[in-house]
Amino acid sequence: MNDTDRGLIFPPAAVGHSLLQLPPLALYIHIPWCVRKCPYCDFNSHTASPELPETEYVDALLADLERDLPLAHGRELTSIFFGGGTPSLFSAEALGRLLEGVQQRIRFASDIEITLEANPGTFEQNKFRAYRQLGINRLSIGVQSFQQAKLEALGRIHNGDEAMRAADMARNAGFDNFNLDLMHGLPDQSLDDALGDLRQAIALAPTHLSWYQLTLEPNTVFWNQPPVLPEDDTLWDIQEAGQALLAEHGYGQYEVSAYAQEGRRARHNLNYWSFGDFLGIGAGAHAKLSSPDGQILRSWKTRLPKDYLDPKKSFQAGAKALTVDELPFEFLMNALRLTEGVPAELFSQRTGLPLADFAKAREQAQKRGLLVADPERLVATPEGQLFLNDLLQYFLP
């Protein structure tokens, strides 16, 4: 296969409505390597060999982007997210060349948010200043827990001290906007353990906290050899007390696992949840892209790094045009994760479908107490958030 064959394959257009205005556009860049695979992780991450193929990978990412460019339809980028894997394994030189290449191909919004996922190890922290100088203006640091025993149970390679220092290192490097990823519901975790982690995180004053409940995912070590997790009652207590603690300290919950200080919600993630568009480049990256004729395409890239780097293979592994029937579910599956939901008019702006066609489904979901009875907004009740799948059933074809 020659280089020009590595691009997008379009399935036939399947929808018959049009969009008056295309949604905002973001870019996701996947870096698929980690020092070691964590036993709970089902992300597309692979153990790194001592020498990462940085140069080849950056070349491939830019070639991949080049081929997707027509799908931007002239839009500027409102956010970029380097996710992984562990993007902070890459040198500032490599990321600098990549960002420069992206900017040569596609305009950046003047207030673009550029986030990089980083692990708290010392090796990574030494690079924070250089990352900031590249224009990366937000870090997302994977702390998970501050307690040594919990970090060991999770198979993490950083220790509690490194976790504590990472926030200071980020701030000293010029990041006034950073997120900490924490997990709860960890093996043998008590309510006090979980709240202790949250208190330590709050003391470091991040602008944003992602607080995930540990889930056992198929194809992970934990799935095959499950650790002892807290009982449901304890999980419930952790959730309730944790939310209250975060609220007390000015971290407003705006999505299932996302909490932010005023004005610091993650723009990149908000774009996903409001059914915005995103390009996805890198091994296994997903994209969702709308075109003016109303076609909404989901596509995904070749998953294994060695295949993605193979010039004889296509970057793209698959694509699917969403049908009219699938659109309401797809839109609401994202939008109803947001604690405040979305303005009702966003539904037709993003899907091209009249919301009036779903009046009956809305009414039924409201009667069941799953959807708030507000004509101006689409928002789940607290019960609807808890039983989102039940709520979404009303919007299935």
What residue ranges bind ligand SF4 (CB under 6 A)?
34, 37-38, 41, 43, 45, 84-86, 119, 142
Q: Which is nearer to ligand SAM, 142 or 276 (CB)?
A: 142
Q: Which is nearer to ligand SF4, 204 or 214 (CB)?
A: 214
Distance, in Å, from the CA atom of 169 to the CA atom of 160, rounded to the nearest integer, reads 14
Q: Which is nearer to ligand SF4, 85 or 96 (CB)?
A: 85
Which two tokens mark 384? 């609807």
CA distances from 249 to 44, 105, 244, 264, 339 (A): 34, 42, 9, 14, 18
Instruction: Find the part of the chain contacting ligand SAM (CB under 6 A) among 48-56, 79-87, 106-114, 286-294.
Output: 79-87
Instruction: Provide the minimum distance between the beta carbon of 85 and ligand SAM in the complex, in angstroms, as a whole number.
Output: 6
Question: What is the distance in angstroms between the CA of the first residue and the CA of the last residue of the chain?
Answer: 40
User: Which residues in 121-140 contact ligand SAM (CB under 6 A)?
Assistant: none
Question: Which partner, ligand SAM, ligand SF4, none, binds residue 94 by CB below 5 to 8 Å per kind?
Answer: none
Report which residue type is found at 90.
Answer: F
- Which among 264, 288, 280, 282 has a CA at the least distance from the CA of 351? 288
Instruction: Find the part of the chain contacting ligand SAM (CB under 6 A) among 61-69, 94-102, 208-216, 331-339.
Output: 208-216
Instruction: Provide the minimum distance between the beta carbon of 69 and ligand SAM in the complex, in angstroms, as a whole number.
Output: 26
Using CB under 6 A as the binding rule, whether residue 181 contacts ligand SAM is answered as yes
Cβ atoms of 286 and 27 closer than 8 Å: no
Q: Which is nearer to ligand SF4, 95 or 338 (CB)?
A: 95
Beta bridge partners of 29: 82, 281
- Which among 344, 341, 337, 312 has a CA at the least distance from the CA of 387? 337
Distance, in Å, from the CA atom of 296 to the CA atom of 292, rounded to the nearest integer, reads 9
> Binding residue for ligand SAM (CB under 6 A) from 86, 189, 291, 351?
86
Instruction: Provide the minimum distance between the beta carbon of 77 and ligand SAM in the complex, in angstroms, as a whole number.
Output: 21
Distance, in Å, from the CA atom of 235 to the CA atom of 249, rounded to the nearest integer, reads 21
Cβ atoms of 18 and 292 closer than 8 Å: yes
> Binding residue for ligand SAM (CB under 6 A) from 17, 164, 177, 212?
212
Question: Which partner, ligand SF4, ligand SAM, none, binds residue 37 by CB below 5 to 8 Å per kind?
Answer: ligand SF4
CB atoms within 10 A of CB 147: 18
Instruction: Provide the minimum distance between the beta carbon of 135 and ligand SF4 in the complex, in angstroms, as a whole number.
Output: 24
Q: Which is nearer to ligand SAM, 60 or 186 (CB)?
A: 186
Question: Which partner, ligand SAM, ligand SF4, none, binds residue 24 by CB below 5 to 8 Å per kind?
Answer: none
CA distances from 101 to 62, 98, 184, 288, 397 (A): 7, 5, 38, 22, 42
Helix (H, G, I), strand (E, B) or coil at 265: coil
Q: Is 3 exposed, middle or buried (0-12, 13-18, 19+ CB in 10 A)?
A: exposed
Distance, in Å, from the CA atom of 43 to the CA atom of 85, rounded to the nearest integer, reads 7
Instruction: Provide the minimum distance between the beta carbon of 83 and ligand SF4 in the complex, in angstroms, as a whole number.
Output: 9
Q: Which is nearer to ligand SAM, 94 or 372 (CB)?
A: 94
Q: Which is nearer to ligand SAM, 116 or 296 (CB)?
A: 116
Residues that bind ligand SAM (CB under 6 A): 40-41, 43, 83-84, 86, 117, 119, 142, 144, 181, 183, 212, 214-215, 217
